[in-house]
Every structure is written in C-alpha cells, then in structure tokens.
Structure 1
Amino acid sequence: MAVHWKLVVDCADPIRLASFWAEALGYVVEDHSVLIDHLLGVGAIGADDHTTVDGRKAWRHAAGVRHPDDPFDPANGVGLGRRLLFQAVPEPKRGKNRLHIDVHVGPEERDREVKRLTGLGATVLGVVQEPGTHHVTMADPEGNEFDVQ
C-alpha cells in the first residue's frame, strides 16, 4: 500500500523559504488562517504563535507549499498531495544536504530557469556535465542545495 508523504525542510525562516519555493515550483503557499483563527478562538495558541503574511494569518514556526492541482483540507489549509513543509529550527544549516530537490525544466529551458531562480534569491553553486547528466546545482536563500535539469 502506498503512503502519503511530505518533504520537511528545517530552516531559519519558513515564511521566506515557502515564498521562494512556491515561486520556484509554481506551487501555492498553504493558507492556514482558518486553523489559526480556530485555535486562537479556543485559546489553544496565542498572538506570538502567528504573524500576518499577505493579509492572512500564518504560523511563525512553519509554512507549507502545495501543488495547485492537488486537494487540500479546507479546515486547516494543509495540502493532501505534493507538498513541502518548512519548519523553523534554532540551529543553522551545516554541510551539504543529504536530500535535495531536482527541478526538471529540460535542456532548452535550463539557462532561463537558472536566471529566473537567481532573481528569486537562489545562487548558482556549479554546473555539472557528466555522462548522462547536465544540470546546474543551486542553493535556495538559506543555502539548501537543489539541481536544475
């Protein structure tokens, strides 16, 4: 039986990374405001637990992005399909990622996509040309590596 999953990325600024990855992948930032309003209403969370982003309440400690065509739970805004969750942690990133995202745009769009992602705050780490692959290794605004193929 196949299981549901999400990729969780530890980071310093989940709102910033969610915004970057939503733009990078054409995903949407999850809207958790209904859940936050509910939890505020029953006293389960306080004002320090959330902030406002684009006129909506958002968690300070976590932000998710989801594929725009996938279903989501309207009661909490959580995506039920392809999803990335960015979670605040106190320690900084150390070393190379053991898991990374490959962005597939094709060889004819690779250079244009690298330029677009650089404009969003990514940096180019290197170009890899080996038998069977040609891709650009980049880092998101917090230094998490990913490849553009």
Structure 2
Amino acid sequence: MTTPTPGATPTPTPAPLHWKLVVDAADPHAQADFWAAALHYTAEDNSALVERLLSLGALPVEATVEYRGRSAFRDLIAVRHPEDPYDPETGTGLGRRLLFQRVPEAKTVKNRLHLDVHVGPERRAAEAARLEALGARVVREVNEPAGQWLLMADPEGNEFCLQ
C-alpha cells in the first residue's frame, strides 16, 4: 500500500460501472415473462426504439416480433426493477436488469452464475409454490450448516436459489 504524498491531489474515485446480467435463452420473451413475474419486475418496452430503427431502415422487419401488442426485438428483451430509472426514448433500464438473448444451442450444463432470490424462511414455501405455478421447478432442498434454501430451475432449466 502506498502512502499519499502530503499536498498531492487525491485521485478521484471512478464512478461505479453500469451492468446488466445477460441470460442465454431459447425463448427470450417467455423467459422475460417468467422473470418479470417471479421478481415483480417490468418487461422493458423498447417499441419506440424498434419503430425508429425500422423507419430508418437500420433494423429489418424479420428482426422484430409483436410482444404484448407492441413492436419488440425478436432475439432479446430485458426486465428491470420497476423503481429504477430508464431511458424514455429507448425504454432501456438504467438500473437492475436481466437481459434475455436468443441463442441457438440448448442449455446443457449447470450454470456458472445464478441468482439468489431472497424471500426469507417464513415465505419460502409460498414463494416456491408461486414460482412453480409460473413454470419453475424445485431441483432440491438444501439444508447445510450455512443455511437452508431451495435450488430451483426456471422454465428453461437455469438454476437459481430461493432463500
């Protein structure tokens, strides 16, 4: 560790980096529907951006679909925390987001990264039942010295923990 030189101008702390978690999906819109419902998030409305890109000829019609009655990108969609800011011109969230992107290959191995959904032990059973009704499944119940939780899988088999 270096000691700052007396009288030296301190180096400003860089601003935190913006990020999103990107999830590969066979059906990004179905995954967005599941995770928006699971987390009580909002599916992003990028229709103004899609329409603008279509009108400029920068996006082919084949790259779009109708989603919830509006134009959307065919191969990607995000969900965001409803209280976080977003860009009203593009509909893109500027905070906590999950982006689902279509990929041609199926999921074949365990996730290297997963979400922990915190509900507390008193709500775990009810939330598990709610998530199962949305299309998730319980993979196994974990009971370890570090705690108890449910390992679950979303409709496409992506693991997450319900704690």
Normalised TM-score (structure 1): 0.98
Q: Does 1:126 align with 2:155?
A: no
- CA distance in structure 1 between the partners assigned to 2:143 and 2:72 by the alignment: 41
Please, which runs of 5 or more residues in structure 1 have no aligned partner?
none
Measured in 2, the distance between the counterparts of 1:91 and 1:132 equals 35
Deviates most, 98-107 or 43-52: 43-52
Q: What do residues 66-90 of structure 1 show as CA deviations (whole Å, max 9, x unaligned)?
A: 0000000111111000000000111
Runs of 4 or more, structure 1, over 2 Å off, are none
> 37, 44, 67: which one pairs with 1:30?
44
- Paired position in structure 1 for 2:6: none
Please provide the CA RMSD for this pair: 0.7
User: How many residues matched?
Assistant: 149
1:54 corresponding residue in structure 2: 68
Q: How far apart in 2 are the matches of 1:44 and 1:59?
A: 13
SS in 1 for 2:98: strand
Residue of structure 2 equivalent to 1:5: 19
Higher alpha-carbon Rg: 2
Q: Matched residues, percent identical?
A: 56
Bigger relative CO (Cα 8 Å, ≥ 6 apart): 1
Q: State the Cα deviation string for residues 4-28 of structure 1 (Å, max 9, x = none).
A: 1100001111000001000000100
Scaled by the length of structure 2, the TM-score of the pair is 0.90
Within 5 Å, give how 1:1-149 maps onto structure 2. Answer: 1=14, 2-149=16-163
